[in-house]
Structure 1
Amino acid sequence: MPGAVIIGAGPGIGQAVARRFAREGLPIALIARGGRTLRAVAGAVAAHGVPIVTLQADSTDRAELDAALDQAIGEHGVPEVAVYNAALVRADELGELSVRDHMEAWAVNVVGALNAAARLAPAMATRGSGTFLVTGGMPEPKPQYVSLSLGKAGVRTLVALLDQQYRSSGVHVASVTVDGPVAPGTDFDPDDIAEHYWQLHTQPRHLWDREALHAGRS
């Protein structure tokens, strides 16, 4: 049974999204750089009793990411939904970072999502269905977070490009824009945020949104 692939399966949004989809009975493939992180998230998801595969890969290494995605497809088939949740979040102001540091942030925040989509979206399009979601943020750029502001603007453009290319083939591409610091028990509780991913995935095609904004609890 096709399931969900979570790239950047960390202890916050990644884990919450994995649990949300597992609650609906979808097999889960978790991708992250660290083995300890993967084991912790897999343990949190296991209570739902769905098949889980954990795959170690750096989202900025295209060969590693492709290999992990291919293994996920081998285990569960072309996913119903893929979530790109990897991000490099740090405070930096104008002129603080080197070119290398900016490229590192861009590689995590944008290029990893692009490469994941390049591997998965064509297969979803061939099948005629699928959802590709990216965790966004910074609806308004902040001068205290230059590299992240640029990266999240890049995510918004990438989602628009993918939507133009794949919507007609039945692939729903969208972002979940989180406008605040994620922490349990706050207005930005990861479990509340995870609900947006499920709602986007289950939207009727004629109502597809390209972005969901989480600005706190209503």
Structure 2
Amino acid sequence: MPRDTPAAATVTGAAASTPEPAPPSVPVTRGLVVVGPGAAFGTELLARFGREGFRLGVVARSADTLDRVAGELASAGLTMRGAVADVTDDAALASTLERLAEDLGGLTVLVYNAKLSIRGSALSVPAEVLNQTLAVNVTGALTAVQAVTPLLVDRVGATILVTVAGSRTEPPSGRFALAVGKAGLAALAAAVGPSLADQGVRMRTVVLDGKVGPAGPLRPEVVADHFWQAYASPRGAVFRLAPPGLRRSAATLPLEV
């Protein structure tokens, strides 16, 4: 927000001179970058922050995704800057985030929502497949955090949000690799949080305890507002959104949102 400029003092008398006009205030821009917007709620999330005055950026793994999101935002009167990058390519992801932050006039919020879900049970998923999912769901998040932290330092409200799926009473079968990946992402956020806090950057985990869709149980616009509340809240580390009356079981694993 622009700073208030104090009014110039009035000088009277023969020696009075006309005060020079104060230089115009330069408004501080707020930028949001979403890595992996997804089809479930990515556009709604971007639009929620866009309505609050944020400049919007998107990193996706395909140009088709960028075109889709840009078109959906345009229908809401919003624009975005987009870039294609593979989150498993450390150098490419880091340089893409730096370039987007510069294009937006500064970065305030990063949302890491990228994921890779490969079907298979705990006894059938090969180790190499698990490593592929971890590269997207966990290692890519670490790369993003390390790349944007220097860009967020000294920015008012600097925040990193990561998306984690919650437990379900009747989890679908064959999501073992994603369950492990989301659990790893939650652990990463908890582990890196204190180090980020020392630099004035907030790490916040958004837990979506149910499938997101227009028919629910978690509607996209509700999820988008939950992300906004997770950002705007003055304190807190984990922000869970669950359908009313959901019965949680500690025995179930976090699964796909």
**TM-score if structure 2 supplies the norm length?**
0.77
**Cα distance in 1 for residues equivalent to 2:93 and 2:199:** 24
Offset from partner CA, 1:39-84 (integer Å, 9 cap, x none): 1101112245444101011111112211210210220133111100
**Cα distance in 1 for residues equivalent to 2:133 and 2:104:** 31
Shift, 1:92, TM fit: 2.0
Does 58-67 or 48-57 show the bigger shift?
48-57
Matched, 1:145 2:175: yes
Is the partner of 1:10 in helix, strand or coil?
coil
Shift, 1:26, TM fit: 0.7
**Cα distance in 2 for residues equivalent to 1:198 and 1:138:** 19
| 1:166-185 matched pairs, under 5 angstroms | 166-185=196-215
Is the partner of 2:236 in helix, strand or coil?
coil
The structure that has the greater radius of gyration is 2
Shift, 1:37, TM fit: 0.9
**Cα distance in 1 for residues equivalent to 2:106 and 2:190:** 22
| 1:34-113 matched pairs, under 5 angstroms | 34-113=62-141
Letter in 1 for 2:181: G
Letter in 2 for 1:215: A
**Cα distance in 2 for residues equivalent to 1:28 and 1:18:** 7
What CA RMSD, in Å, does the superposition of the two structures yield over aligned residues? Answer: 2.0
Letter in 2 for 1:123: L
What is the percent sequence identity of the aligned residues?
32
Offset from partner CA, 1:110-140 (integer Å, 9 cap, x none): 1111110000123312446401000101347
2:60 corresponds to which residue?
Answer: 32
Is the partner of 2:125 in helix, strand or coil?
coil
Cα 1:23–1:47 change in 2 (3 A) is farther
Conserved in 2, the CA contact under 8 Å of 1:128 and 1:169? no
Letter in 2 for 1:45: L
Conserved in 1, the CA contact under 8 Å of 2:98 and 2:148? no
Among 188, 206, 227, which residue is 1:197 paired with?
A: 227
| 1:105-144 matched pairs, under 5 angstroms | 105-127=133-155, 129-139=157-167, 144=174
Cα 1:81–1:167 change in 2 (3 A) is same
Aligned length: 215
Q: 5+ residue gaps in structure 2?
A: 1-28, 246-257
Offset from partner CA, 1:94-115 (integer Å, 9 cap, x none): 1211121111100111111111
2:3 corresponds to which residue?
Answer: none
Matched, 1:19 2:47: yes
